[in-house]
């Protein structure tokens, strides 16, 4: 006999939401980030854009996250130009970016004036929806970004970072979502970045959010643990408004469920999106060719890894961690690193492993394993985390870790942005003639070390 959460006898089938299900395309952002470390180039994307625009996606997530960093660090591309190119080719589908709130597209808190300028320029260059989150769930870090998005006249999609910890309950998630709506969010995005959500957990959480909120609720999950398809189906029953998906050739593994399956499954129901399946043949062939181009960077995950329920490493980080260990000829250390992540995350106060807390945790776990001594070396980022420069952790930081990181100094958990001096004019002065546009100044402000060689090459000749 199936468990009760599959039958939903308490409500008629699909009664949670009578409207057609919507889909958010994530191939150009989180899909490629999860499968081959975000190495897809703009030139590889262009031949797909107009076809993807015709599919019938509600939104297209194509910017932010790791894409900005990878563009200038590895691809020698201007991420701002990529955004403008998308806007030229994608005429029907609103463009969405992932914004790390006060951390923008970087790995630290930036000054408020840099946050304001970044949002303004992203909006002017083509972003319609800002999917905004704070890795620790500290909404003080979202205040400046939310205000800037409203000023730009664009849409705020708030985000809940789903994770399993002693500090996360349905009640806490619902309250956090309510707070974001009161701050200006027009939708709430549930981000299961590590593929942890069981079918029952998906149903219960989405049902609770739908009962308490009137804004659309979207769900994002990765296939790492083999649970995402079932979680999505239960979310549909609970009334979820939209799902993050990839086309099938970019789906599964550490990426996301395929859109085609849900189109077929919902046909003839009240939630039928009425999207044709025939158009995906040509699209999938093109994406498969792109994946072959980046086979050297591909994740080694085959099948599923239910171990993600323990280490909770996000799908988007897994391929990067594999790539980094491979570069050091230490791929065999991955299982030990993942095991060490469990302890480090607990010592950090159980933060959701979203960027940048995932990088801080993963990097420290890697150093612990490679040196053979836990916290024998502590990264600058971990020190700043313990100082409070990323915000308030969900739980208390381990006393020994805090002692080793702070070396007698006291932490300060006031809003990080309020402790940082304005930085935009400073960046403009420091960049000098290298920065010829407002966007160049921001690139320098975010990543000064790699912006210098990038901007020199960009304007060479």
Q: Residues 362-372: pLDDT tens digits?
A: 999 999 999 99
Which residues, at least 6 apart from 436, have a Cβ–Cβ distance to it below 8 Å?
A: 459
In which element (H, E) is residue 24 found?
strand 22-25
Distance CA 16, CA 37 (A): 37
For the chain, give the mean pLDDT: 93
Q: Which residue has the tokens 């990529």?
A: 82
φ, ψ (nearest 5 deg) of residue 44: -75, -25
User: End-to-end distance of the chain based on CA atoms, in angstroms?
Assistant: 71
Q: 79-132 pLDDT, tens per residue? A: 999 999 999 999 999 999 999 999 999 999 999 999 999 999 999 999 999 999
pLDDT above 70 (res 406):
yes
pLDDT above 90 (res 304):
no
CATH T-level fold of 20-297: TIM Barrel (3.20.20)
- Tell me, what's the pLDDT at 1? 38
In which element (H, E) is residue 151 found?
helix 143-152
- Tell me, what's the pLDDT at 14? 56
Q: At what angle are helices 315-327 and 357-371 packed, to 10 degrees? A: 30
Q: 267-285 pLDDT, tens per residue? A: 999 999 999 999 999 999 9
- Tell me, what's the pLDDT at 109? 95
CATH entry, 313-416, from 3.30.2130.30, 3.40.50.300, 3.40.50.150, 1.10.472.90: 1.10.472.90
Cα-based distances in Å from 413 to 32, 145, 163, 381, 393: 35, 19, 22, 15, 9
The DSSP secondary structure of 361-404, one letter per residue, reads HHHHHHHHHHHTSTTSS--HHHHHHHHTTT---SSPPPHHHHHH
Residues paired with residue 129 on neighbouring β-strands, in sequence order: 96, 155
Q: Residue 224, Cβ neighbours under 10 Å: how many?
A: 31
pTM over 0.95: no
Give the start-to-end residue ranges of the domains of the chain: 20-297, 313-416, 422-459
- 7 — pLDDT class (breaks 50, 70, 90): very low
Q: 213-225 pLDDT, tens per residue? A: 999 999 999 999 8
Strand residue runs (E) in 168-279: 187-192, 217-221, 242-245
- Tell me, what's the pLDDT at 9? 45
20-297 and 313-416 have identical folds: no
- Tell me, what's the pLDDT at 319? 67
- 308 — pLDDT class (breaks 50, 70, 90): confident
């Amino acid at each position: 006999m199936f468990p009760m959460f599959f039958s939903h006898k308490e409500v008629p089938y699909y009664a949670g939401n009578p409207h057609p299900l919507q889909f958010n395309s994530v191939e150009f952002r989180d899909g490629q980030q999860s499968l081959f470390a975000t190495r897809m180039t703009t030139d590889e994307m262009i031949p797909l854009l107009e076809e993807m625009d015709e599919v019938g996606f509600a939104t297209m997530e194509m910017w932010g996250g790791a894409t900005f960093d990878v563009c200038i660090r590895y691809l020698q591309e201007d991420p701002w130009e990529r955004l403008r190119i998308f806007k030229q080719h994608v005429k029907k589908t609103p463009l969405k970016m992932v914004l790390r709130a006060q951390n923008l597209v970087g790995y630290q808190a930036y000054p408020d004036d840099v946050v304001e300028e970044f949002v303004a320029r992203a909006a002017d260059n083509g972003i319609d929806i800002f999917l905004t989150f704070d890795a620790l769930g500290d909404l003080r870090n979202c205040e400046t970004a939310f205000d800037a998005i409203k000023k730009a006249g664009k849409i705020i999609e708030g985000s809940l970072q789903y994770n399993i910890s002693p500090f996360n309950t349905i009640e806490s998630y619902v309250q956090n979502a309510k707070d974001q709506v009161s701050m200006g969010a027009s939708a709430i995005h549930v981000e299961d970045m590590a593929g942890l959500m069981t079918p029952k957990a998906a149903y219960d959480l989405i049902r609770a959010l739908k009962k308490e909120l009137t804004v659309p609720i979207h769900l994002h999950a990765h296939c790492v643990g083999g649970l995402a398809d079932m979680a999505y189906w239960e979310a549909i029953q609970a009334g979820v408004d939209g799902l993050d998906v990839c086309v099938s050739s970019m789906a599964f593994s550490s990426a996301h469920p395929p859109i085609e399956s849900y189109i077929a499954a919902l046909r003839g129901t009240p939630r039928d999106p009425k999207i044709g399946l025939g158009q995906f043949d040509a699209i999938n062939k093109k994406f498969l060719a792109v994946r072959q181009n980046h086979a050297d960077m591909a994740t080694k995950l085959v099948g599923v890894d239910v171990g993600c329920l323990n280490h909770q490493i996000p799908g988007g980080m897994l391929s990067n961690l594999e790539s980094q260990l491979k570069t050091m000829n230490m791929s065999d250390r991955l299982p030990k690193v993942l095991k060490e992540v469990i302890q480090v995350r607990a010592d950090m106060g159980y933060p959701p492993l979203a960027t940048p807390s995932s990088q801080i945790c993963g990097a420290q776990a890697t150093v612990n394993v490679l040196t053979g001594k836990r916290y024998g070396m502590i990264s600058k980022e971990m020190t700043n985390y313990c100082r409070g420069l990323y915000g308030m952790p969900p739980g208390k930081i381990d006393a020994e870790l805090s002692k080793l990181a702070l070396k007698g100094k006291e932490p300060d958990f006031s809003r990080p942005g309020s402790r940082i001096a304005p930085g935009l004019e400073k960046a403009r002065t420091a960049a000098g003639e290298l920065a010829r546009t407002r966007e160049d100044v921001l690139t320098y402000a975010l990543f000064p070390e790699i912006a210098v060689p990038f901007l020199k090459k960009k304007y060479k000749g």
